[in-house]
Structure 1
Amino acid sequence: MTDSVIDLGVLRHGPDPDPSPRPPRAHGRQLRAALVALLALLTLAAAGAPPPRQVVLTLPVRPGADVLVDGDLFVVIEPTSTPSSQQRRLAAYRLPGGEPAWQMPLSGEARYWGIFPLGGLLMLTGYEIGPQGRDTTTIALDRATGAYRWQQPGSASKLVDGNLLLSSGGESEPSVLRAVDPCCGTVRWQLPATTAEISPHETARGIDRLIFSPPTGPVEVRDATTGVVLTRSDLRPADGGRFGLQVMDDLLLALDRGSGTVTAYGLDQLDRRWIRPNVNVDFALDCGLVLCLRTGSNRLQALDPATGEVRWSSSRWGWAWGHEDRLLANVLGRGDSSDRFVVLDALTGQEVADLGRWDLYELSQGGRLVGTRKHPDGGVLVGEVDVLAGEVRVLDVLRDATGECQVISYHLLCSGPSGTYRLWQLPV
């Protein structure tokens, strides 16, 4: 097996367009494009030597560029200055060789960009964070030629029927939702502006339901492909106070932080399943076989999702992610740039393996986990984490990399000497 490295020249990559204090959910979220968690690797000695490296290629990337990858396309969004204005240029190159595919001026202005493929299209969503909140724009391009198809306000998410959900507003402004045909941007349905908090229910094929929680009035579950209300119920606490909602698989959790109560409802009928009193919950995490609650006392509680009973509780772990009958958890502590991670038995909380301190990246929704850390002899060590086995397979040592890595699709982008960046294709 061989790998390829592309020298990208000088590049400044901005932060994730939607930074969040929480780790990514097991089912992932849109663009949330560039979503990154931290992880660790267990043992490296038995994995053998890394494969030989191919010739380094150079691509024209200017300072201030945004880099995106979709399959065999390497896409660069870079600023180009003109006497009267500044306009960004979009250029695509074929991987692994770096041959030019197409280029075009970008018709939208944004600070951060995310990308995902949909059929024969590339969907680009631009984010501009201002004093009034976040403005978003979605542009549809022909993947083969870069030809412009359509552009509309809002960020795009896939629906289970193949259409797109565009969401604009939110935060300090009312939210507007509409579903559009990706081929041409034709509106399939649209809802009036609302001040309700909106939570999607995501599946492997896309979003199938939307949960609306207005400041006053009943909670509604809507069909995401039609916008039609499927069920509604008043879930407000007895004192009429505000509460938060989180979607966890087939459950809807109502978090009443005033009384310290967590109530679970079935997502289909909003029927009450169980109540857990006397718990100050910051948020919930989907931990596979168990439901994890992160409490205000810095404890991680694992509940039986069917009954709400506590299976185990610990103050050692900060976050957790479910992997079948195992959990990947990080260890609470400070003083290091990377988190230390362990593997736990999901049902008992017993520690199965200590994975050390590394940075982790999820290659795809619910997919492979790749970790990096600086090699003691220089460069960056890259390995693939197997949570179920509690071990890691070494993929390579990037001798020319100095750190600051990130995953873009199935490629690893790391900074190199003299401000350069290099793109490494991860083995399949």
Structure 2
Amino acid sequence: MCAVSDLGSEASGMSGTEWGRVDDERNVYVRTADGERWVGQYPDGTPEEALALFTDRFDQLAFEVDQLVLRVNAGKTSPDEATEVLKTVKTKVADAHAVGDLAGLIGKLDALLPVIATQREARKAERAAKAAEAKEAKERIVAEAERLATGNDWRDGANRLRELLDEWKALPRIDKAGDEALWKRFSTARTAYTRRRKVHFAELNEKRESARLVKERLVVEAESLSSSTDWGPTAAAYRDLMQRWKAAGPAPKNVDDALWKRFRAAQDAFFGARDSANAAIDAEFAANAEVKEALLVEAEALLPVTDLATAKAAFRDIADRWDAAGKVPRDRIRDLEARIRKVEQAIKAVEDEQWRKSDPEKSARADDMITKLEAAIAQVEREIEDAKAKGEERKVASLEENLESRRQFLDMARRAAEDFS
């Protein structure tokens, strides 16, 4: 493009190329669409050296233009920056002291304008999309913050609000009015939550302080009972203290743990002493349990009852000896009492059955019922015969159904009467 041509130079005393020339005084000109333009002078060298100097300058400009074209087409510079650089380079080319196709370089630069315009629109669309995404994300953050602000999740809620704040900071700004409106809602939600949280913990601290005072009194009371030997009432008192302890609620944790340790120590001291005393009593009562086990063998041998009077007399004697045997260990009371009660109930059941069967009032009522049913059956039988004589078949069927029902009742009454005979 910038090769030097000597065509006609010897005849004219000048040296030149397609894009420029050098005169005898070593003035260098560049050819443009508007005519020649002086670009410089190189008096100390040959025409070729003079022309080469200014074509080299053109090559440097061409390289700069080509690099700009590559960067713009690759999208490595923003549209605004590319526009500014384009203006600078274009001015530089237009005023360049160089020899070469300066108009071609201007054409390359102008060809970048629609490329930059397209990139600007793409950037604008991309910014709009990101702004829409950011707005949606911020609206989600605000909605979640407002939901947390009305809840009572005091630990996880505070952590989540901090996370939401970090998410907000990482998002790009949207339009000023929209951004400020969403931030105001977000900030209001955080403030409301923080205030409610402070009130909650203030109330909680107040309740814990109140619980501390109550539990300190309960501990003193528990410790005063720890040496009591009045086992029953004191055990009941400790159960009441435990219910009051639970109802008091939690005190500050370190205080609560210390008070509970003292409370349990007092309880353990009392119940440990009671258990030791009961163990000594149980050892003393073990012999009584052996006596009652032998009496149970006698009592259970009375079953099944065949002679009620004999069984009753024998059980009365066993019961007297049972009472005389005295107390047994606490862990034996239930099973021993259950076995003796079983024998007693079996004898009573036989006695009740005999009484039921021999009850004169029930026997009289059963006999009276039989008499009435027999009279009623005889009456129905007469009515059936009368209806048959008159040919009243429907009445006959109804009366026969009634007769069958009364005969069933009569059978039941006779079986009941046999039980009382």
Kindly indicate which of the two structures has a greater share of residues assigned to strand.
1
Return the index of the structure with the highest Cα Rg. 2
Kindly indicate which of the two structures has a greater share of residues assigned to helix.
2
Question: If the length of structure 2 is used for normalisation, what is the TM-score?
Answer: 0.13
Q: Give the structure, 1 or 2, with the largest relative contact order (CA under 8 Å, sep 6 or more).
A: 1
